[in-house]
Amino acid sequence: MIKYKIAFDVFEISLVRVIIFAVSWCLKLLAFWLISRSVRTMNISKLKCYYIAFSQKLHMISLNTVALDVIPYSLRALFQTSSQLSTLTKVLSGVLTSLLVYDFCEIYQIGGQAEIKAFEGESSSG
């Protein structure tokens, strides 16, 4: 990658996608707050339900678009010791990688709780 002068960090490659991922995380945190507040008050409006559903869909779309870029470039920025990257770039790469790992762990945990049942269609005996 050094021979062909490929960038060290994901911010040079796909800054727009990283910004969309960060915004989707902000929306996801707001959705967590709305859910916890609604659980405490035992009241939720239809608008909050729509917002929570929309934020989750937007976050999954942004996760899918940025995941393949964040993994190699962020890890390269974190572990490249001879590079002249700024500390801010390394910190932001670490934060992005941590958020991505959290997302994958959340998907694994929620997927592990799913109950899979075999489809039992109606048998036609006649």
For 2-11, the pLDDT digits (tens) are 566 666 677 7
For 52-111, the pLDDT digits (tens) are 999 999 999 999 988 887 888 887 777 776 567 788 888 888 899 899 999 999 989 988
For 19-65, the pLDDT digits (tens) are 999 999 999 999 999 999 999 999 989 999 999 999 999 999 999 98
**Where exactly are the structural domains of the chain?**
10-109
* Tokens (6 digits) for 61: 């779309």
pTM for the complete prediction? Answer: 0.76
- Which residues 6+ apart lie within 8 Å of 65 measured at CB? 17, 20, 21
